[in-house]
Amino acid sequence: MTTTRNTVILAAAFWSCALPLHANGWGEPHLSIIPRTEAEAARIAAVTAPTTRFDAPEPFETHPAGKATKFDALNRNAFSFASANMSFERELDFKVGNGFFRKLWVTAPASTVSSDGLGPIYNARACQRCHIKDGRGHPPEDGDDAGVSMFLRVSIPDEVSGLNAEALSYLANVPEPTYGTQIQDKSIAGVPAEGRMQVTYEPEVVTLGDGTQVTLRKPTYQLGDPAYGPLHPQARLSPRVAPQMIGLGLLEAIPEADIMALADPEDANGDGISGKANRVWSEEYQQWMLGRFGLKAGAPTIRAQSAGAFSGDMGLSTPLHPDAWGECSAVQTDCRAAPDGSDAPEHVEVSAQVLDLVTFYSRNLAVPARRDLDAPQVLRGKQLFSDAGCQSCHRPKFVTHRLTDQPEQSFQLIWPYTDMLLHDMGEGLADNRREWLADGREWRTPPLWGIGMTKTVSEHSFFLHDGRARNMLEAILWHGGEAEAARETVRQMPAVDRAALIAFLESL
């Protein structure tokens, strides 16, 4: 994302504004909402309360995405279908959006003006290159340095920026002076790429309650071959694997008030689990909004995240990020001077219309139906998931807003298994780097819907923000901080219970 240049200027303009911080959040200008009646709200509260009965599946549990759920396509393409309740007419837009999501952008100038403008520095030539088959990416395999479906974000600590607290609050974090907010490991001819992501793993043994030993791999990240001089001595790197793309429009339509109601930043209820909303500045709406997208909830909407990806990941300008040079910093002068594709109509490389189509596509990738949810082992696993406290963060159910213009997302009972909040996950997972209100130990609870289809779609099972976990048990054993008690419960479980818990996750 390249919000920094504009935000510094904005920061100056907004210094005098007090932050409107009310319990229900900051507003949802991205949605066209029909308000709930009180009777409806009461009904919804009853329906979304976590269940206490585990002898049979709950009503509608087969449909994790409500009527948008995709049945009968549980194959390698399982994450690539449109919301099942989409009309035929709207499906045409979805298909065009899919075309742009898969499109390989090229260097300017090219004969096809509407496809050029890639770079000068970039991470990949297409969205789909990272969000492979609309699923998650993966860390580099042994001996493969490309790291194509993940990247390193970079910044320096607030304290060394020389900015005051108010100015800092309008920045996600402080860009590294030369390399900006993200390391681009590819570039067009004539401009050097910024460097290579290097990862090394060290083994870390965890002994389970029954004596079984599990060897985790603890990663260390470095920037190899830095092409523009050494990194700032206090630079912080944050490795991120591209997440799965399913169900995002539904997550965007969860009422902000319902998410805020789960936040407990001071842990007032004393359960050891706080949960904090991220608050981010929206360039698009020029206001504070709840952060929902990105691994630390650093983006308010799918459109903002997508425009950030065009700019930061591919070097393509949109109306939200009009700089044709993408992420080249002011000191990367050759990079800024390289030819661009902004002689295309609208003087941006990616028009508002294309951004909207890609956003529509990203909003409407369907969540696949649950499998085996009435199997006794799965029901037992569901109970263990509840008893271990997993669902304090991996919140099972929500009902989305009624919306005037998004029939696919409107008023659906959904089962995403996330609270959309930030949690301290301990030292082991920390990137020690701020992103808006998220601190260096906090991550947004990732949705678990579809997670059991990962192997089918992605042909791997690398989990967590940097793909360090090689299976679900490893992912759980990395949980620390607020999730330490839940992790300990799993570590001490009899093997048969561990297997049931994982069978439940596999059924999602």
* Interface residues toward ligand HEC, by CB under 6 A: 123-124, 127, 129-131, 149-151, 240-243, 248, 273, 293-296, 298, 302, 305-306, 309-310, 313-314, 358, 362, 385, 388-390, 392-394, 423, 425, 429, 443, 445-446, 451, 463-465, 472, 475-476, 479, 482-483, 486, 490, 501, 505
Nearest CB to ligand HEC, comparing residues 90 and 103: 103
Which residue's CB is nearer to ligand HEC, number 370 or number 394?
394
| Paired tokens of 373 | 């949810």
Q: How far is the CB of 239 from ligand HEC (least distance, A)?
A: 9
- Shortest distance, position 377 Cβ to ligand HEC, whole Å: 15
Specify the residue, 232 or 491, whose C-beta has the smaller distance to ligand HEC. Answer: 491
Q: Which is nearer to ligand HEC, 44 or 180 (CB)?
A: 180
In the complex, minimum distance from the CB of residue 451 to ligand HEC, in angstroms, rounded to a whole number? 6
Q: How would you label 266-305 residue by residue, b for 16+ Cβ within 10 Å and e otherwise?
A: eeeeeeebbbbbbbbbbbebeebbbbbbbbbbbbbbbbbb
Q: Which is nearer to ligand HEC, 248 or 259 (CB)?
A: 248
Residue closest to 354 by CA, chosen among 392, 396, 318: 318
Phi, psi (deg, nearest 5) at residue 455? -65, -40
d(C-alpha 396, C-alpha 381), whole Å:
14
Q: How far is the CB of 112 from ligand HEC (least distance, A)?
A: 18
Task: Return the number of the residue (191 or 295) whose C-beta is nearest ligand HEC.
Answer: 295
Q: H/E element holding 279?
A: strand 279-282
CA 79/CA 367 separation, integer angstroms: 7
Q: Least distance to ligand HEC from the beta carbon of 303, Å? A: 9
**Cα 174 from chain centroid?**
20
For residues 314 and 327, what is the distance between their CA atoms, to the nearest angstrom? Answer: 9
Cβ-count burial 117-129 (b if 16+ within 10 Å, e if not): bbbbbbbbbbbbb
Q: Which is nearer to ligand HEC, 98 or 329 (CB)?
A: 98
- Based on CB atoms, which residue is closest to ligand HEC, 235 or 304? 304
Q: How far is residue 219's CA from residue 208's CA, in Å, rounded to a whole number?
A: 21
> What's the closest the beta carbon of residue 184 comes to ligand HEC, in angstroms?
9
Report the C-alpha gap between 216 and 206 in whole angstroms: 7
Min separation Cβ 151 and ligand HEC, Å: 5
Give dist(CA 472, CA 462) in Å, integer.
8
The nearer residue to ligand HEC, 457 or 475, going by C-beta atoms, is 475
For the bound state, the minimum distance from the C-beta of residue 273 to ligand HEC, rounded and expressed in Å, comes to: 5
485 CB burial (10 A radius; 0-12, 13-18, 19+): middle
Q: Please state the closest distance from residue 7 (CB atom) to ligand HEC, in A.
A: 16
Q: Which residues pair with 50 in a beta bridge?
A: none
C-alpha span between 263 and 276 (Å, rounded): 5
User: From the CB of 41, what's the least distance to ligand HEC, in Å?
Assistant: 26
Nearer to ligand HEC, 295 or 344 (CB): 295
Q: What's the rounded Cα separation, in Å, for the pair 423 and 265? A: 9
Q: Which residues contact 506 (CB under 8 A, 6 or more apart)?
A: 452, 472
